[in-house]
Amino acid sequence: MAIQRLLAAALIVAAGLVATAAQPRFYSDDPLSREPESQDASAAAPEDIGLMYELAYNLFVTSDHKASNTRAQNVNTIDEVPDSSWFTNRVLSRPISASELARGPVVGARPAPERWTIIREKSAGAYPGFTARDANGETWFVSFDLPANPEGASASVVIASKLFWALGYNQVELFITKFDPRSAVIDSKATKRRPSGDRTPFTRDDLDEVLERAAPNADGTYRVVAGRLLSGKVLGGFRYSGTRPDDPNDTVPHEHRRELRALRVFASWLNLTDLKAGNTLDTLVTENGRSVVKHVLQDVGSTFGMANGEHEWDLGYEHFYQSGPSRRRLVSFGFWLSPWQTVPYEEYPATGKFEGERFDPTQWKPQTPTTAYMEMRADDAFWAARRVMAFDDELIRAAVSTGEFGNKAAEAHLASVLMQRRDAVGRAYLTGVNPLVNLRLDETGTLRFDNAAAKFAEAPAEYEAAWARFDNATDTSAPIAKTQSRTMAIAAPANLPSAPGTYIEVVISTTGSTHPAWKQPLKTYFRRAAQGWTLVGVDRGVPGGDAK
């Protein structure tokens, strides 16, 4: 099924019978690498999604959502997510070097911290900060570390931004820099909202109040993280369900976008517990002469050990409220122990409570459930886990180094835990579907593929390929032959058609595997061109939804 196409069908009613015009299964541009976003979205207007409303709705309404088992609706014909204003394929789809990962979303110059001019208070978030212009006049969102966790918040958000950028999400450009109150000034127009609701001028006392909550350096300066102001018109956050009605390109319900479902896996790996609209941002930008809405996962600081405050050990194990555990603790007067109460954390002030030995991604929970999170299927989780596993040890260390930790033991600990959790993700999700990937049919007539779960499971005893001619116009196949192999290279039958424009279907089965999901045959489709065979279709046969 090609993404976002209106299938031109003609209904013919004759003698009480309804006939539908035949449609090809694959089009000449399949598989699509870019999601079509051809409509102008200039009418999109700012929208505020109330924090408390969303929190209550997710805890008491979304928590009762019953998953529809609908296949992700924004995947292309080879079961991949095309690039879009939501997502850009990076890790796994192409090589990423350690230096590229360390740079991440950064494209502009660092802030000039010699002089900060405060222009606005910080209106949201747990960490002290404000909006300010640097010495070059550029606007930044500036945030401080807390005294209990010096380096923690700033390192966490910078490291996580590199990893989420590599995973494919739009991110804010972040820099660890410094703030010197002795050279800071306050813009004459800067204001702060008071408890009464009134806005009055931002004063030195207000600045001192911010600094009282921040971790100072020995020389009187402060370590801060500065986020560059995003370009475009700010429209507010995006929801994890439904669509944005004023964006004509937003046609796939968000709960059925694979990259949003996959956040359940990515967030569990990094312990991003704060999945809410307030930590996202839609901006209206101009691309190729028209207005489009760009979707940004903008605040990923509630990750790693910084997801848990000084007295919050349960984040990642429970939602803010879960009736079962809450009731058991109540009736036992607190003597019933939750799993998170017995975890032997190795803690550093800069990394907080973050561990990998007991981590189970299938049981991990954010602060509140989201509809996209609850709609995740085995094929979505498999897609996500492959990307997590693409971060080798070198890439993880490169990302962690951008946190600029003063304590190298804390840096090594964070990297080690991320490696443990990475492998836990792979172990949990790569065996949940038929794991054959990277399928290619070469000029020697050999079908080759890889096993994405090879690190965690014994290889099947044998692979069998059932070859067939495929009629793209009628979506029917005619058997040719079957071939077998004990390796991940299967010879094609001698009478395989080779005329340009020909389609073939190859159904790959495994025998001798201990994983029930691997018994589901993998359907693949290839199209012949002058230069060889191109993979145009993959169907993993996950039950439920439309598998075409």
- If you ran DSSP here, which 8-state letter would residue 177 be given? E
In sequence order, what DSSP letters do the residues of 303-321 get, joined into one string? -TBTTS-TT---BBTB-S-
Q: Do 470 and 503 contact (CB within 8 A), yes or no?
A: yes
pLDDT, one tens digit per residue, over 77-86 is 999 999 999 9
Amino acid in position 494: A
Local confidence band at 1 (pLDDT 50, 70, 90 cut-offs): very low
Question: Percentage of the chain with pLDDT > 90?
Answer: 73
Helix (H) or strand (E) holding 163, with range, is: helix 152-167
Of 201, 236, 227, nearest to 127 (Cα)?
A: 227
pLDDT per residue as tens digits for the range 443-483: 888 999 999 999 999 989 999 999 999 999 999 999 999 99
Range name among 195-209, 320-334, 500-514 with the lowest pLDDT average: 320-334
> What's the start-to-end Cα distance of the chain, in Å?
5
60 CB-side CA count, 13 A: 6
In the predicted structure, residue 333 carries a pLDDT above the cut 70: no
pLDDT score recorded for residue 427: 96
CB-side exposure of 372: number of CA atoms within 13 Å? 28
The whole-angstrom separation of Cα 207 and Cα 202 is 8
Q: Which residues contact 354 (CB under 8 A, 6 or more apart)?
A: 271, 304, 305, 345, 414, 417
Maximum alpha-carbon separation in the chain: 90
d(Cα 350, Cα 406) in Å, to the nearest integer? Answer: 9
pLDDT at 288: 85
Mean pLDDT for 331-357 is 79
Q: Is the pTM of this model over 0.95?
A: no
Q: Which residue has the tokens 């005329």?
A: 499
Looking at the predicted structure, is the pLDDT value of residue 14 above 50?
no
**Does the pLDDT of residue 19 top 60, yes or no?**
no
Is the pLDDT score of 485 beyond 50? Answer: yes
Contact predicate 418/266, CB 8 Å? no
Outline which parts of the chain fall under CATH 2.60.40.
Answer: 436-539
Residues forming beta bridges with residue 178, ordered by sequence position: 223
Residues 91 and 199: their CA atoms lie apart, in Å, by 46
Q: Report the chain's mean pLDDT, rounded to a whole number.
A: 90
Across residues 225-249, what is the average pLDDT? 95
The pLDDT of residue 276:
87
Cβ contact 118:202 at 8 Å: yes
CA distances from 299 to 45, 91, 187, 231, 278 (A): 21, 20, 26, 16, 8
Task: Spell out the residues 6+ positions from residue 416 whose beta carbon is closer than 8 angstroms to its own.
Answer: 356
Nearest to 278 by CA among 48, 45, 46: 48
Architecture (CATH level 2) of domain 436-539:
Sandwich (2.60)
Q: Can you give the pLDDT at residue 7?
A: 31
pLDDT digits (tens, 9 = 90+) for 151-199: 999 999 999 999 999 999 999 999 999 999 999 999 999 999 888 888 9
Mean pLDDT of 261-276: 94
Burial category of 83 from C-beta neighbours within 10 Å (exposed 0-12, middle 13-18, buried 19 and up): middle
What is the C-alpha to C-alpha distance for residues 32 and 315, in angstroms, rounded to an integer? Answer: 39
Please state, in angstroms and rounded to a whole number, the distance separating the CA atoms of residues 203 and 220. Answer: 20
Instruction: Judge contact between 527 and 512, C-beta under 8 A.
Output: no
The rounded Cα 413 to chain-centroid distance in angstroms is: 24
pLDDT tens digit string along 42-79? 999 999 888 788 888 888 888 889 999 999 999 999 99
pLDDT digits (tens, 9 = 90+) for 378-397: 999 999 999 999 999 999 99
